[in-house]
Structure 1
Amino acid sequence: MLPVALLSKLALGALRTAATSAPGLITGVTIATTAVANVLGMGEAKTNWNALAKVLEVEIPGIVGNAVFLSRGDWIAEDREGFLHAASLFGGDLQKLSGICSNLESQVDQVRDAYAVYWLEIGALAATILGYVVACQAMKLTPYTRVQAEMWLNRLVALTNWMIGQKTKILMGFLALAGSTLATSSQSLGQLFTIKPTGDVKVDFQRATISTAPPPQWLAPKRDAPAPYEENPPSQR
């Protein structure tokens, strides 16, 4: 299938060519022009959202998981449990954020597909209308069919403008719904960057202190120690 940008250019070109013989088609051309969009940019945005979702789903959780694994060594203080809990919460938030990015990717892709379908239909309509306009102009050269050709051309113009208007109306209705959904997802994404603890969990970092007191119970790390030296081991007796 041709790129959407090329489809829209060819469709509008065919409509403008037909409008030179049927000026009433300028209305349809004007309506269709409102649906010109940067579909290539939508494809790039889709790729970026997908890449971000993969990073949040795979790469960063892998780093967090590695940190949790390394913490199983000699870290025996009580704050290790707090670290594990924070790592678990952080991993859950990463999954939520990855889901939001995947949702945005899907919605951008749907908008891009809607534009592709629209211009494919407008292009097919423009090619058909151009052929009919040429035929009507040829009929107008004959005195016997001139009046009938003029009548058919007027009806063709009215029908074409109506069809373009209906297709554009359907597209704009879909875009309005998709825009509302995108705004909701974007709002959820923005909330992740404005979360501030309040109440009992609020931290005053200007007055915060780090306690260096030893934990109430200290356990020596388990290490494999060599066996004591014996001059006459049992295996040699």
Structure 2
Amino acid sequence: MPYPLLHAKAALDELKLAARSAPGIMVGVTIATTALANVPGMGDAKANWNSLAKALEVEYPNLIGNAVFLSRAGWIADDREAFLNAASVFSGDLQKLSGLCYTMEGQVDQVRDAYALYWMEIGLLAATVLGYLLACQAMKLTPHLRAAGEILLARLTLLTNAMIAQKTKVLYGFLAVAGGTLATSSQSLGQLFNIQPTESAAINFERAVIPTDPPSVYLAPKRELPARPKQQQR
């Protein structure tokens, strides 16, 4: 079992152990159980976003650069300029997409860290509660401290449940904000895969024809003539 899941399981086990002496703490156990998540899976998602971002940032632009280099000969001047411009625009779009992937990676990482921090705090709380429970149980075994022990045990139960509820509320508040940000980024990512020309700009590649016939009239390229030297004045 991955370490993050072991951490959450250990925290819940300690809370359940505390609930044996204070059954009311099972309310807190139930609340904490709702915050179980696939933290290792978030780590895998983070790594995947990072890998894609790096490929878009380095690997694919290098392929475009190689294509430009290997196809540098045999162009008509205007076609060459158009190709270089298209390659430049495409490379820029790849960089933008890479930045969006890095953003997704960071957001997933923040969510993962939030869950990890939550279970670390729950584990520390459970360990502390177990210590106080031992003190309360010792007081209940003493005749003149039994009433005080019962009162402290009841207060400890209420405080434990309240703290678990508060920490879970903070976690869910963060997740709501992070979820909105992730949704916005995902929407932007989805739009990148749905860009295509429409109406008059649409291209029907099944009917597209590229003419290869030479022009009917040959136009010689314009050349600048050298300037005539000025005659020296006598």
The interval holding the TM-score normalised by the smaller chain is: 0.7 to 0.9
Tell me what 2:155 maps to: 155
What's the offset of the Cα at 1:217? 5.5
Q: Residues 93-108 of structure 1 correspond to what in structure 2 (within 5 A)?
A: 93-108=93-108
Q: Which residue of 1 aligns with 2:191?
A: 191
User: What is the RMSD computed on CA atoms of the aligned residues?
Assistant: 1.7
Higher mean Cα deviation, 178-187 or 85-94?
85-94
Residue pair 1:4, 1:115 contacting (<8 A) in 2 also: no
2:59 aligned partner: 59
In 2, the alpha carbon distance for the partners of 1:17 and 1:204 equals 69
TM-score if structure 2 supplies the norm length?
0.88
CA 135–199 in structure 1, closer or farther in 2 if over 3 Å, else same: same
Identity, in percent, stands at 66
Give the equivalent residue in structure 1 for 2:5. Answer: 5
- In structure 2, do the counterparts of structure 1 residues 192 and 218 end up closer, same or farther at CA, with 3 Å as the change threshold? farther
- In the alignment, is the contact (CA less than 8 A) between 1:31 and 1:165 conserved in 2? yes
> 2:126 aligned with 1:126, yes or no?
yes
Q: 1 CA distance for matches of 2:124 and 2:219?
A: 79
CA distance in 2, matches of 1:213, 1:24: 88
Moved over 6 A (4+): none
Map of 1:83 onto structure 2: 83
Which residue type is aligned with residue 212 of structure 2?
Answer: T
Q: How does 1:127-146 map to 2 (within 5 A)?
A: 127-146=127-146
- In structure 1, runs of 5+ residues without a counterpart are 220-237
Report the equivalent of 1:180. 180
Q: Please give the alpha-carbon distance, in whole angstroms, between the structure 1 residues aligned to 2:219 and 2:188.
A: 43
In structure 1, what is the Cα distance between the partners aligned to 2:202 and 2:151? Answer: 77
Question: What is the total number of aligned residue pairs between the two structures?
Answer: 218
Cα distance in structure 1, aligned partners of 2:220 and 2:146: 104
More displaced, 40-49 or 133-142? 133-142
- Structure 1 pair 217/114, CA: closer, same or farther in 2 (3 Å)? farther
Contact 1:53 1:102 in 2 (8 A): yes
Which position in structure 2 is the counterpart of 1:15?
15
Q: Distance in 2 between matches of 1:165 and 1:217?
A: 81
Does the 8 Å contact 1:114/1:171 carry over to 2?
Answer: yes
Range 45-54 or range 191-200, more displaced:
191-200
Provide the secondary structure at the position in 1 that maps to 2:143: coil
- 2:225 match: none
Matched, 1:35 2:38: no
Listed as ranges, the gaps of 5+ residues in structure 2 are: 222-234
Q: Which residue of 1 aligns with 2:204?
A: 204
